[in-house]
Amino acid sequence: MYVDGAGLSVGDLHFSQGDGEITFCGAIEMAGWVHMRVSLIKGGMVKYGIKNPIFKPSTITPNYKDYLIFEGISVDEQGKQHYLDVNVAYRQACLNAIEYMTKFGYSRAQAYSILGTAPVQGHISGVVDIPNACATLWLPTEIFQFDINPSAAGPIIHLDGSINMPISQDR
């Protein structure tokens, strides 16, 4: 049903997308239908004291239990401090994750693409440690065909950075 002035809009559908859609247009797009239920609460924005909509996610979401969490603070690649800038902090967390993934044989472009399309979680983890903002990127380890957890032995290269099959057939 169309309700004039309701102000409801829905964007494009993504099969998968990392939090922040860090690769700009890197999510995996998909065709599909949207079925939604809307409950209109007259004057709800005033009643709840908010300025933007609230919503609940689908009950059909990935449920990962094991993550590696990469941290970034608001100091850029040149060492310049950016006062409580969570954008810089999140970029640093992503860059740390990308660098880490290269140690297993991913190219930087492959790691970047994975972070943009995998169900990673981005969090603003701290804004109280002035002047640094802290952001974290949660990378689910269960999406990989090999163990990416840190160990005393160090990383084991499983890929060669190409689009070929993994070097290791451990699955």
The Cα–Cα gap between 134 and 71 comes to: 7
Checking if the pLDDT of 150 tops 80, the result is yes
Q: In terms of Cα–Cα distance, which of 10, 132, 150 is closest to 69? A: 150
pTM, two decimals, is: 0.77
Q: Reduced to 3 states, what is the DSSP secondary structure of residue 80?
A: coil
Domain boundary assignment for the chain? 1-171
How would you label 87-126 residue by residue, b for 16+ Cβ within 10 Å and e otherwise?
Answer: ebbbbbbbbebbebbbebbbbeebbbbbbbbbbbbbbebb
Measured CA to CA, the distance from residue 131 to residue 23 in angstroms comes to 27
Predicted confidence (pLDDT) per residue in 114-132, tens digit: 998 888 999 999 999 899 9
